[in-house]
Amino acid sequence: MPRRADLRSVLVIGSGPIVIGQACEFDYSGTQACRVLKAEGLRVILVNSNPATIMTDPEFADVTYIEPITPDYVEAIIAKERPDALLPTMGGQTALNTAMALHTSGVLEKYGVELIGAGAAAIEAGEDRQRFKEVVERCGAEVPRSRICHSMDDCLAAAEDLGYPVVVRPSFTMGGLGSGVAYDEADLHRIAGAGMQYSMTSEVLLEESVLGWKEIELELMRDRRDNVVVVCSIENVDPMGVHTGDSITIAPALTLTDREYQRLRDVGIAVIREVGVDTGGSNIQFAIHPDNGRIVVIELNPRVSRSSALASKATGFPIAKIATRLAIGYSLDEIPNEITQKTPASFEPTVDYIVTKVPRFAFEKFPAADPTLTTTMKSVGEAMAIGRNFTESLQKALRSLEKRDASFHWNGEPPAGAELERLLEEVRRPTDDRMLKVQQAIRGGATVEQLYEVTRIDPWFLDQIVLLDEIAQQVRDAEALTPELLREAKRHGFSDAQLGDLRHLSADVVRGVRHALGVRPVYKTVDTCAAQFAATTPYHYSSYDEENEVAPSDGRKVIILGAGPNRIGQGVEFDYSCVHASFALRDAGFETVMVNCNPETVSTDYDTSDRLYFEPLTLEDVLEIVHAEQRSGEVAGVIVQLGGQTPLGLAAGLKAAGVPIVGTTPEAIHLAEERGAFGRVLAAAGLPAPKHGTASSFPEAKVIADEIGYPVLVRPSYVLGGRGMEIVYDEEMLEDYIGRATAVSPEHPVLVDRFLDDAIEIDVDALYDGTELYLGGIMEHIEEAGIHSGDSACVLPPVTLGTEELGRVRESTEAIARGVGVRGLLNVQFALASGILYVLEANPRASRTAPFVSKATAVPLAKAAARIMMGSSIAELRAEGALPRAGDGGTLPDDAPMSVKEAVLPFKRFRTPHGKVVDTLLGPEMRSTGEVMGIDTTFPYAFAKSQVAVGGGLPDSGRVFVSVADGDKRAIVFPVQRLVALGFEVLATEGTAQVLRRHGIESTVVRKRSQGAGADGEPTIVERIEAGEVDMVVNTPSGPAARHDGYEIRAAITAVDRPIVTTVQQFAAAVQAIEAGRNEPIRVTALQEHARRLTAGRAALMEGAR
Amino acid sequence: MTRAILVLEDGRSWNGRAYGAEGSTTGEVVFTTGMTGYQETLTDPSYHRQIVVMTAPHIGNTGVNDEDSESRRIWPSGFVVRDPARRASNWRSQRELVDELRAHGIVGISGVDTRAVTRHVREHGAMRGGVFSGAAADRPEAELVAEVLASPTMIGRHLYSEVTTVEPYVVPAIGEKRFTVAAIDLGIKSMTPHRMAQQGMEVHVLPGDATLDDVLAVSPDGVFVSNAPGDPATATGPIELVREVLRRGLPIFGICFGHQVLGQALGFDTYKLVYGHRGINQPVMDLETRRVEVTAHNHGFALALPGEGSRLPEDEATRESWVGGPPGREGRTVATEFGRVQVSHVCLNDGVIEGLRCLDVPAFSVQYHPEAAAGPHDARYLFARFADLMAEVSSRSSADAAAPAPSAVPSPTSTVKEA
């Protein structure tokens, strides 16, 4: 069946901002979908609010809307573009939900838009628990047994039938309120009793617990001819009870016989047919009882997913790409397998290696959060590794996490006695470091049986860790490192660093010995077919095996080091820059070689670069790749500037090993990163910086702080995302900070800066080629300085800065670029306070904002940066059209669009052990997971769009609670007045209400939480928020004191998912946006349209200048 | 740790560790790409006299149980793996695989770059090899290569007599008995009679040298010809038997070697594939429904159209010659002594003929393994098709004893829902 002739245009919905549970895997799938549809000659209309994605680059769709993904906005796009079809399966739950809303409201029918990939009925059958249960039962399979109960007697009888433990789920409560696991009758009385109270229908669902069962997933594809294939099986090393996104998972499944596997396959195929997924990919999850093999179906997702991205990378079978082809009419046998080219896609990949995915968590950013892993996903990213066996794969994956203490170790004394007992108790509870604890317990002599008893991790996996322990002991006890011993240890994934620790040698010395003995990895190929057919795609992974498959090449190769697993502070934005560099350099005639270990990304798609190495980004692994590539041809250079702090941290080591680094040199990087050196650069250029000092102890820090004056900003050096950064208001807090920052040492000192109160923060992205500066864009932060730039909303072009100030920003940026010696991208952060432009920091690398600036100004900065690194000048790039002929991002035309970037914060995901949302207050440590962009002709409307895109949007009427710090009270008078004029009811605490009253603004006084309920039962503000009576909260921090009331308010509003404003600047912008949203109809403009206007504006400027 | 070495006839060798029994063994080196089902693979008689290379690196993880074996013993002459399990983990596991290999005297080798071996065999074709472990591994390599070269090649090798049952036996129908089937065991896997029994067939499994009289003695409604090891060209006895059965108008169903026997009886030629089809992920298209089945394969030889030479190019063009053209186009039909025969199934990877359907006599066959074990169940419907064929023939012959030769195999409309 060839492509459907009746489809001419398709609307693709992206997944919006990166949030926990929905990350850049959907950029990967959406990018693939767009590329396929375009290649098929269809008109592609794309909507995604996330500017950091590659899919929203103007070249991937015919029309690209960076607009909020809400039914209203998408309807406006449909009305304007009139697509024939909507592909809802590429953008995660966001796209699916939006498509369903458009279906339900009749919009799709009204405009004659067909859902392709998955129809409404299939989506419903997959999402609705009861309908799904019926589907599964019709397929002759089971779901976990459950009973609905209305009394304690019901519950007791049901539990008797289901067997303990049972899961208690009260009906009609929000966010899992009142649910829990009852292990015995006493638990049941407690949990179900409370549950029936919470439930407005006094109803609870008791469900058979599958905690501790084996968890297996299958990735399936189905086409219009009803051909179904299983692309990949995935086994969770962590058993049921931990969300698969938070589990260590492997592919293929390793502990099933063929009979058991084929049973899963039969059920999976029957269910995908019965659900009615017409074409495309689905993920189905099973739980298997480890003692008797009983299978229950947990869920099916009728769309591409995190698991399908993983499966695509794990097998080389590009699920999203093929799902898109199927959606427009092809059948599997008509689609070639791109890797073999000769064979069709209608087969089931088979692999001759083991893939391990490990999640990356960010609990250090949310100290109050409960780190227990549950069925709610909490990880922010993941790393994947490929090895020829499980141990090699697992150890590579753990070191790919690039996190201290993530890898297995044999340092210090093995745990014994009470400590071992404690470990065995601790591993009962799944946490982010459980696997490491398991390894330590094994090291201390715990048996596989003991550990299976407490963790339910399959004994086969536990035994593999015993194997690692045995090898570690051999390495430690051997007289010398023989080639045989080294090879054996390497076969099981030991790094040079681990071996060094075991032998009390440095990693460098181990590497030297290893190289002298000729023990080096070979590179194998991911080929979908276990070598049955020749592969044409150089998608490689390392293994200490025999045969090397890297082919020689004549090209001039550029190795681009990626960003590794997503984490807060280093996400899809860096992948964007790496991918752009690869595209630009391929176009410029280089052979590009990508190195990365993040399966969610576009960079690890095998056709992004000429070659792909799916490898950890450690010095050892990168050096081996460079060696392999140098043996197979000429390596023109290695790019470390684009993948964030990860590759930058490798620069010095690579340089020391003689690897050619292109772009900004490691010495120049040091000039920008090292405080003292950077201070000298600034001094030489005559640029002011906030007073600062470097301390390696509390007494040193105290001296500096006393001299600068409190408040001071303290942070460790060499970090990304403001990790560990805090504002310290007095000596006591300073001592406390130094005490907590355990790793402080002369090598890792703490930086102490003067904190600039009430400053405007300015962010600049620029290119420098050694002679000319291209100012990419100037962003003005909406929040004041002190909030991490990644968490702060910003606007481009700036809305409150004057020409003279902008001129100073340009001069300062150029002076820094020259002083540091930048070749490529540079990001500088300034703070404007009392007329003085302070330099806060400079980063000689791609920044988080590079994609946002590129989209706001219609100039691909990362592409230009890559070219500059390889020797092109800005003048040359201007001449060939890669950069505008004249002017830059600092000289935008007057009618340039206003772009607002807003951060998306994950607070709702994280709860304290008592179940309350963690504090939502912003600070100098970055905690956002992603961002959205609002782009429009005016700032208020652009800001309004950004707020809608970030979730929920601002209210257009209703009730606003205002409670601000004393210093902020003056600033809120005008915006509150506007709100009242717009018809809002204002609630305020006594102090704020009094200030408002004096300005003639009426407000309702509400009781603080600390005051408790009133004499006549008047509720406190927290209770009113929890009751859903408040539509927006304005609450600014009130100084260093405990601020407990504030926390309760912020937690409550976050829990009910309404907007919260925590700075006065943001409040002013919000009021403007509310007004714009009320007064103006929804309007949408494609990025390509904005770009046309910008180009015309630039031409007019040039004309005017002539 | 005992040393072992894998030696190929062209002189390539790999060092590794002894796995299973220690000693020396020779055979044809083939690779199989299934990620599950090593127990079924090892007990598949079609692997007799072959050294099997597992491309999946971890082998033995689920141990061995009494339920999953496809025959009474382990057949491969050698076993090559990368990472053998240190311990089994599965609720059905009863024994460790390594112990089972030792008990059956199977000489294996582990720690080998199995991917390198696979790539070598893929590029240079399946070839003879040997595994030598313990003291044998210390012999000069030239001597080992010489021993390999002295061993017989697979072409021209007659092997089914070594694996067939000595005594006939009966697998009773499950539920109501509808048919009696005479199954010629040239290396039958136990799942095959089981699948037939599920269709109400009482299966009389007969030794490979069964005569027409032996077959007729059980009064069969249909005859089944099984898979087998060795060169199908050597199967002169079964080929002659099948011609006799065809002449009598009895329904025939052949699998794998049985398909090659039917094909040769119809006048097709056989040829040796470069490295064969082995594994459980091979896409096969039913040319009539144009649906794709993911199937289990284990064949080193294949059928060629009569008069088209002993060797077909395995490439895209061949595949296109079958699959290309408008939807609904049926496979190519050739005229034979027994009437028209249609190519019903092809492998989408390389265009190899994977199924035949006789239009004028009640016979059909597939090159792959619808009984799977190991492998997906996509082709299980073929057993129902065999039942339908027998039902049609018997109803016709009882209704009109004077009717001419029964016609075509029924269309594949009758498929069973997967159990």
Q: B287 CB near a chain A CB, below 8 Å?
A: no
The count of residues in chain B is: 419
Helix H segments across A870-968? 874-880, 939-950
Q: Tell me the shortest Cα–Cα distance from A260 to chain B, in angstroms.
A: 9
Nearest CA in chain A to B351: A343
Contacts of A467 in chain B (CB under 8 A): 86
Instruction: Please choose, from the candidates A917, A928, A931, the residue with its C-alpha nearest in 3D space to the C-alpha of residue A787.
Output: A928
Give me the DSSP letters along B332-349: PEEEETTEEEEEEEEETT
Q: Residue A106, exposed/middle/buried by CB under 10 A (0-12, 13-18, 19+)?
A: exposed
Question: B92: which DSSP letter?
Answer: T
Q: Tell me the shortest Cα–Cα distance from A214 to chain B, in angstroms.
A: 11
Instruction: Please choose, from the candidates A560, A644, A681, A637, the residue with its C-alpha nearest in 3D space to the C-alpha of residue A845.
Output: A644
Output phi, psi for A451, to 5 deg: -75, -35
Q: B414 CB near a chain A CB, below 8 Å?
A: no
- For B354-365, how does the pLDDT look when each residue is reduced to its tens digit (9 = 90+)? 999 999 999 999
Nearest to B279 among A350, A459, A534 (CB): A350
d(CA A719, CA A697): 18
Question: CB–CB of B268/B367 below 8 Å?
Answer: no
Question: CB–CB of A216/A234 below 8 Å?
Answer: yes
Q: A1 CB near a chain B CB, below 8 Å?
A: yes
Task: Give pLDDT, residue B310.
Answer: 43
Nearest to A352 among B14, B61, B114 (CB): B114
Place of tokens 């992004």: A608
Nearest to A254 among B58, B315, B348 (CB): B58
Nearest CA in chain A to B318: A342
**Beta-carbon separation of A531 and B36 below 8 A:** no
User: Which residues on neighbouring strands pair with residue A719, listed in sequence order?
Assistant: none
Task: Give pLDDT, residue B312.
Answer: 47
Q: B92 CB near a chain A CB, below 8 Å?
A: yes
Q: Residues B9, B100, B202, B371: which is the catalytic one?
A: B371
Mean predicted confidence (pLDDT) in B396-417: 53
> For residue B326, is pLDDT > 60?
no
Nearest to A460 among B89, B291, B350 (CB): B89
- For A506-527, how does the pLDDT look when each residue is reduced to its tens digit (9 = 90+)? 999 999 999 999 999 999 999 9
Task: Give pLDDT, residue A176.
Answer: 53
**Beta-carbon separation of B62 and A255 below 8 A:** yes
d(CA A117, CA A543): 38
- CA A532 to chain CA centroid, Å, is 36
d(CA A756, CA A784): 9
Q: B142 CB near a chain A CB, below 8 Å?
A: no
Q: What is the strand order of the sheet A214-222 is part of? A: A295-301, A280-288, A214-222, A228-236, A249-251, A354-360, A381-387
Instruction: Please choose, from the candidates A350, A778, A792, A714, the residue with its C-alpha nearest in 3D space to the C-alpha of residue A529.
Output: A350
Output phi, psi for B416, to 5 deg: -95, 150
Nearest to A266 among B36, B323, B418 (CB): B418
Q: B288 CB near a chain A CB, below 8 Å?
A: no
User: Which residues on neighbouring strands pair with residue A1091, listed in sequence order?
Assistant: none
Task: Give pLDDT, residue A912.
Answer: 74
Contacts of A482 in chain B (CB under 8 A): none
Nearest CA in chain A to B56: A352
**Beta-carbon separation of B82 and A333 below 8 A:** no
Catalytic (active site) residue B358 = no
Q: Tell me the shortest Cα–Cα distance from B308 to chain A, in angstroms.
A: 23
**Beta-carbon separation of B348 and A252 below 8 A:** no
d(CA B87, CA B95): 10
Q: Tell me the shortest Cα–Cα distance from A616 to chain B, in angstroms.
A: 21
d(CA A287, CA A143): 9
Reported ipTM: the value is 0.94
Q: Tell me the shortest Cα–Cα distance from B352 to chain A, in angstroms.
A: 13
Q: Tell me the shortest Cα–Cα distance from A390 to chain B, in angstroms.
A: 8
**Beta-carbon separation of B291 and A269 below 8 A:** no
Copy the structure tokens of residue B410. 């029924």
Task: Give pLDDT, residue B401.
Answer: 57
Helix pair A496-503, A507-516: axis angle to 10 deg: 110
Copy the structure tokens of residue A854. 């590129």
> For residue B309, is pLDDT > 80?
no
Tell which A residues from 1014 to 1073 touch B, by Cβ distance under 8 Å.
Answer: none
Q: B327 CB near a chain A CB, below 8 Å?
A: yes
- For B225-271, how does the pLDDT look when each residue is reduced to its tens digit (9 = 90+)? 999 999 999 999 999 999 999 999 999 999 999 999 999 999 999 99
d(CA B225, CA B236): 13
Write the Ramachandran bin of A385: left for phi over 0, alpha for psi from -120 to 50, otherwise beta.
Answer: beta
Task: Give pLDDT, residue B104.
Answer: 96
Q: Tell me the shortest Cα–Cα distance from A444 to chain B, in angstroms.
A: 20
Task: Give pLDDT, residue A721.
Answer: 61
- CA A172 to chain CA centroid, Å, is 31
3-state secondary structure of A234: strand
**Beta-carbon separation of A460 and B87 below 8 A:** yes
Contacts of B376 in chain A (CB under 8 A): 230, 262, 265, 348
**Beta-carbon separation of A350 and B376 below 8 A:** no
Q: A349 CB near a chain B CB, below 8 Å?
A: yes
Contacts of B88 in chain A (CB under 8 A): 460
Q: CB neighbours of A837 closer than 8 A, spacing ≥ 6?
A: A687, A688, A762, A805, A808, A809, A812, A830, A831
Place of tokens 């996400």: A571
Q: Residues B100, B147, B256, B297: which is the catalytic one?
A: B256
Tell which B residues from 214 to 273 touch A, by Cβ distance under 8 Å.
Answer: none
d(CA A675, CA A839): 12
Q: What is the pTM of this model?
A: 0.94
Contacts of B67 in chain A (CB under 8 A): 259
Tell which A residues from 115 to 134 touch B, by Cβ distance under 8 Å.
Answer: none
d(CA A467, CA A443): 11
Q: Name the more confident of A491 and B400.
A: A491
**Percent above pLDDT 90 for chain B:** 85
> For residue B403, is pLDDT > 70?
no
**Beta-carbon separation of B89 and A343 below 8 A:** no
Q: B64 CB near a chain A CB, below 8 Å?
A: no
**Beta-carbon separation of B349 and A347 below 8 A:** yes
Q: Tell me the shortest Cα–Cα distance from B395 to chain A, in angstroms.
A: 33
Lowest mean pLDDT among A255-264, A969-978, B126-135, B366-375: A969-978
Ranges of chain A with pLDDT below 50: 174-175, 1041-1042
d(CA A520, CA A486): 10
CB pairs under 8 A between A and B: 176
Q: B362 CB near a chain A CB, below 8 Å?
A: no
**Beta-carbon separation of A346 and B348 below 8 A:** yes
Question: CB–CB of A304/A273 below 8 Å?
Answer: no
Task: Give pLDDT, residue A197.
Answer: 72
Output phi, psi for A810, to 5 deg: -65, -50
Task: Give pLDDT, residue B320.
Answer: 61
Question: CB–CB of A1035/A1061 below 8 Å?
Answer: yes
Return the percent helix, strand and coil in chain A, to nearest 5.
40, 20, 40
Catalytic (active site) residue B67 = no
Helix H segments across B249-402? 257-266, 316-323, 381-399
3-state secondary structure of B59: strand
Q: A951 CB near a chain B CB, below 8 Å?
A: no
Contacts of B285 in chain A (CB under 8 A): 333, 346
Do you find a cis peptide bond into B88, omega within 30 degrees of 0?
A: no
Contacts of B280 in chain A (CB under 8 A): 258, 348, 350
